[in-house]
Amino acid sequence: MLIRVDPARDVPLADQIAAAVRRGIAEGSAPAGTRLPAARELADSLQVSVHTVLAGYQQLRDEGLIELRRGRGATVGDGVRPGKAALVELTRELVAAARRLGLDEDELVGLVRDTARAR
């Protein structure tokens, strides 16, 4: 799995790191149990702060995609399916699009509910 960032993009670096890992999980190059690069090593290779890498990893942990353990590093969570990572990424894109359109959270949730019910 290749992790790259582009400082020229409008997307925060931590978000770019999280997105790269999500893509790796979704594409199958980082299946459950895969150990992610150590935060310090990844920070050095990307020339970013270790705090930036940790912020990206914490985002993934909060999404239920990776596990962070002190002294053991970050690993893709047991039982995490590629489809979940892809869906998380799509959800983030949906929320960003809704914000650009000026929709608030209630409007977005309502649209998702209506769509789910219309199956």
Q: How far apart are CA 33 and CA 78, in angstroms?
A: 6
For 59-101, how does the pLDDT look when each residue is reduced to its tens digit (9 = 90+)?
Answer: 999 999 999 988 888 999 999 999 999 999 999 999 999 999 9
Q: How many domains in the chain? A: 1
- Considering the entire predicted model, what is its pTM? 0.84
Q: Could you list the residue range(s) of the whole structural domain that residue 99 is in?
A: 13-117
**Is 3 part of any domain?**
no
Which pLDDT value is given to residue 111? 93
For the chain, how many helices (H) and strands (E)? 5, 2
**Is 4 part of any domain?**
no
The single residue listed with the structure tokens 């190059």 is 29
State the pLDDT confidence band at 6, using cuts at 50, 70 and 90.
very high
Question: Amino acid identity, residue 66?
Answer: I
**CATH number of the domain bearing residue 113:** 1.10.10.10
Q: How far apart are CA 49 and CA 28, in angstroms?
A: 27
**Is 7 part of any domain?**
no
